[in-house]
Amino acid sequence: MAKQDYYETLGVARNAPEAEIKKAYRRLAMKFHPDRNPGDKSAEAKFKEAKEAYEILSDQQKRTAYDQFGHAGVDPSAAAGAAGGFYGAGPGNASFADIFGDVFGDIFGGGARTRGGAARGSDLRYSLELSLEDAVKGTEMRIRVPTLDTCDTCHGSGAKPGTQATTCRTCGGYGQVRMQQGFFSIQQTCLTCRGSGKSISDPCPACHGQGRVQRTKTLSVKVPAGVDEGDQIRLAGEGEAGEGGGPAGDLYVQVRLKPHAVFKRDGDNLHCEVPVSFAQATLGAEVEVPTLDGRASIKVPAGTQSEKAFRLRGKGVRNVRSGAVGDLYCHVSIETPVNLTPRQRELLEEFERLVKEGGARHSPRETSWLDKLKSLFG
């Protein structure tokens, strides 16, 4: 009797992604598993068909062969011993634990360690405060980072020198054990070896069997020119040491910018406030302004209003990725005179009187504001 198409068995399209195939198989397995249908031969047959279909379609190499050649491409008798053929036991009446190991493994933490207990070390994060000048021009800084480092006495094994760890008898060295609850199988970290897969009878006196010790490392960090708030610099392999000989994690240095007395940064642009006297803004003047490279000057035309911004091209920050240079924006802030002498007050009062008597529109903002008020209140 011809076998049913695997895609039809699972009820998925031929271009279905792996996640959809897994979901379809899980649904059918839950429905037709023999543990839930004792004595039902029909359910058992459907369960075997679903399992066989999933074993083929969940393996990319087997799925490709099936898509090209049909059942002949994955038939054990036709491909026995051939490279890329179908290997392993057929779809027998396996336990619930065997069937759902790969389906539920990611949910219950399976696969975190390799056999033997090796596990990658944790990544670390370090907050590095920089001045605006250092961030813009780049610098090299030394930092001290507390971390878990490989024990020099036992070289990470956790066992006293001259001895060695043995395979954990509870989990057989896998670091994980399965617990059966009805028809569900839950994978958990082995409580005996705590996931290491090893049993240490004579622990290292320096690290007490942990294989790692607390240590503060001094590292050099090269900060490229143009980094901004929130940028990260990755130092590969400078995180925590791995367990059981696993690789070390990475250290991520996150940039924090200190507030600057003069400038505010906005991406690649800089902004600063430039105080201008009442007379300079009225009559016009050439005003000196600061930049990160030194001093420059801007021409303030007569009649300049407060908050007017003047742009100095190329006086901003060079982008750390593109190399493009931003601009510096100088925002004029007109200062009101204080501590006037009697003569200065007299002259200002005379000036105000002459302005009003002249009838000319010397205050564009005030005139515009009054016009808006008239329109608002009729």
Residue 61 is predicted with a pLDDT of 79
In terms of Cα–Cα distance, which of 215, 251, 225, 237 is closest to 127? 251
Whether 102 is covered by a domain: the verdict is no
Instruction: Point out the domain boundary residue: 78, 93, 112.
Output: 78
Q: Above 80 in pLDDT, residue 370? A: no
Residue 331 is predicted with a pLDDT of 95
Q: Are residues 131 and 49 in the same domain?
A: no
When pLDDT is cut at 50, 70 and 90, the band that residue 376 belongs to is low
Domain CATH for 240: 2.10.230.10
Q: Are residues 131 and 252 in the same domain?
A: yes
Domain CATH for 70: 1.10.287.110
When pLDDT is cut at 50, 70 and 90, the band that residue 268 belongs to is very high
Is 0.75 topped by the overall pTM?
Answer: no
Q: How many domains, in total, are found in the chain?
A: 4
Whether 218 is covered by a domain: the verdict is yes
In three-state form (DSSP H/G/I as H, E/B as E, the rest C), the secondary structure along the chain is: CCCCCHHHHHCCCCCCCHHHHHHHHHHHHHHHCCCCCCCCHHHHHHHHHHHHHHHHHCCHHHHHHHHHHHHHHHCHHHHCCCCCCCCCCCCCCCCHHHHHHHHHCCCCCCCCCCCCCCECCCCEEEEEEECHHHHHHCEEEEEEEEEEEECCCCCCCCECCCCCCEECCCCCCCCEEEEEECCEEEEEECCCCCCCCEECCCECCCCCCCCEEEEEEEEEEEECCCCCCCCEEEECCCCCCCECCCCCCCEEEEEEECCCCCEEEECCEEEEEEEEEHHHHHHCEEEEEEECCEEEEEEECCCCCCCCEEEECCCCCECCCCCCECCEEEEEEEECCCCCCHHHHHHHHHHHHHHHHHCCCCCHHHHHHHHHHHHHHC
For 165-179, 237-251, 289-303, which range has the lowest pLDDT when averaged over its residues?
165-179
Q: Tell me what the mean pLDDT of segment 333-344 comes to.
A: 92
Residue 192 is predicted with a pLDDT of 80
Q: Are residues 350 and 366 in the same domain?
A: yes
Q: Above 50 in pLDDT, residue 104? A: no
Q: Are residues 288 and 371 in the same domain?
A: no
Strands 309-312 and 328-335 come out as: antiparallel
Q: Tell me what the mean pLDDT of segment 5-31 comes to.
A: 89
Q: Are residues 276 and 188 in the same domain?
A: no
Q: 237 or 246: whose pLDDT is higher?
A: 237
Pairwise CA distance, residues 8 & 26, whole Å = 15
Whether 367 is covered by a domain: the verdict is yes
Whether 99 is covered by a domain: the verdict is no
Q: Are residues 153 and 249 in the same domain?
A: yes
Q: Are residues 31 and 154 in the same domain?
A: no
Whether 222 is covered by a domain: the verdict is yes
Q: Above 80 in pLDDT, residue 215? A: yes
Whether 208 is covered by a domain: the verdict is yes
Q: Are residues 133 and 201 in the same domain?
A: yes
Residue 369, domain extent:
341-378
Q: Are residues 128 and 210 in the same domain?
A: yes
Q: Tens digit of pLDDT for each residue in 136-172?
A: 999 999 999 999 999 999 888 888 998 988 888 888 8
Q: Are residues 362 and 239 in the same domain?
A: no
Q: 63 or 1: whose pLDDT is higher?
A: 63
Q: Above 60 in pLDDT, residue 195? A: yes
Mean pLDDT of the chain: 81
Q: Tens digit of pLDDT for each residue in 312-334?
A: 999 999 999 889 999 999 999 99
